[in-house]
Homo-oligomer: A and B are copies of this chain.
Amino acid sequence: MNEKEFLQAYDITKYDRPSVTADMAVFSIQDKYIDDITEKPDIRKLPDKKLNILLIKRAGHPFQGKYALPGGFCKKGESVYETARRELHEETGVNYGYLNLFDVFSDTGRDPRGWIISNGFLALIDSEKYRVHAGSDAWEANWFEIDYTCKYENESKIHEIVFKKREQEDSGEREQLFLRGIEQIIYLEQGKKIEWKVEQSEFAFDHGEIILKALLKLKERVEYYGDLVFELLPEYFTLTELQKTYEAILGRKLLVANFRRKIAEMVSETDKMVEGAGHRPAQLFQARKQGVRPQRSN
């Protein structure tokens, strides 16, 4: 039997196969939402920035009414990356920008419909380019502002996230979701492993876990690839906007002088200026295009 005959006789449908999806954690940076109406809107102060994630409220079964990540099933003839790109375009109107796999979720029982493996993607978009999904009424998409904290308790790491919905229609309380993850290193007889427990009752499927892993991966990648944040900003930006974007993701304040020295070689100045702010106008910058660089030697 030669290879051609083998392939003709090969029947892939004889074996059990899973369904495969691409689910996307779509992040954007937006000005901090002002809760307190009584707060005076100081024209001089620049707003801080906040990390946001796009979540959909499920209209159909299963997990009707629960929040989930946008995503969908892989079709024959496309790679999982192409599935993610297609779904991102369908659901946000954006068909470019950073989109990258970060993990695969395949625990048995993670989807009540059956054997379904989810490919988790990290997507970064400039929120100004985002177009609200208009077509299907299968679901409703919303941006949620992220507050992330992390603390250490006897050898464990506890991650907590509060999601606050933006653009509340009625003037009532803002809708909020909570998520908590506990990370622990377990030493086995041979080697070690990291154990996760995620409390995520307000999310569909295991999407709470996927969201937490996505957020941690985002932080890790931003620290490693400094130029990733440009994907969250428009083409032209001020250095302060860039800094506030970093601060929103890393969760801590940075010193202006040091920050500027550090990112100096990653941006190029333009002759454009911001006008009409209540203070000295800032110069606009662009991400600097550069080729593949040698690895930092240590």
Alpha-carbon distance between A108 and B78 when the two chains are bound, in angstroms: 6
Q: Which chain B residue has the least Cβ–Cβ distance from A294?
A: B152
Q: Which chain B residue has the least Cβ–Cβ distance from A80?
A: B106
Q: Is the CB of A77 within 8 A of B20?
A: no
Looking at A7-15, A41-49, A135-143, A265-273, the stretch in contact with chain B turns out to be A7-15
Interface flag for A285 (CB, 8 Å) = no
Interface flag for A291 (CB, 8 Å) = yes
Instruction: Give the copy number.
Output: 2
Alpha-carbon distance between A129 and B81 when the two chains are bound, in angstroms: 37
Interface flag for A92 (CB, 8 Å) = no
Q: Is the CB of A106 within 8 A of B77?
A: no
Q: Which chain B residue has the least Cβ–Cβ distance from A194?
A: B292
Q: Is the CB of A292 within 8 A of B155?
A: yes
A119 partner, pick from B104, B108, B187, B291, beta carbons under 8 A: B104
Which of chain B's residues have a CB closer than 8 A to the CB of A231?
191
Q: Which chain B residue has the least Cβ–Cβ distance from A108?
A: B77
Category for how many chain A residues contact B? 35 or more
Looking at A26-34, A94-102, A160-168, A274-282, the stretch in contact with chain B turns out to be A94-102
Q: Is the CB of B112 within 8 A of A292?
A: no
Q: Is the CB of B16 within 8 A of A76?
A: yes
Which of chain B's residues have a CB closer than 8 A to the CB of A261?
none
Closest CB-CB distance, A4 to chain B, in whole Å? 9
Q: Is the CB of A292 within 8 A of B152?
A: yes
Q: Flag A53-64 by CB within 8 Å of B: 1 or 0 each.
A: 000000011111
Alpha-carbon distance between A15 and B113 when the two chains are bound, in angstroms: 13
Interface flag for A1 (CB, 8 Å) = yes
Q: Which of chain A's residues 17-31 have a Cβ closer than 8 Å to chain B?
A: 17-20
The answer to whether A113 and B19 touch (CB under 8 A), given A188-B96, A191-B96, A292-B152, is: no
Starting from the known contacts A3-B62, A74-B117, 20 additional A-B residue pairs (CB-CB under 8 Å) come to A2-B61, A3-B64, A6-B60, A7-B62, A7-B112, A10-B114, A12-B113, A12-B115, A12-B116, A15-B73, A17-B17, A17-B20, A18-B18, A18-B20, A81-B106, A97-B190, A98-B191, A104-B119, A183-B292, A185-B292
Sampled A-B contacts (19; CB under 8 Å): A3-B62, A3-B112, A7-B112, A7-B113, A10-B113, A10-B114, A15-B19, A16-B75, A17-B18, A17-B20, A18-B74, A18-B76, A20-B117, A74-B117, A81-B106, A96-B191, A156-B292, A187-B289, A224-B224
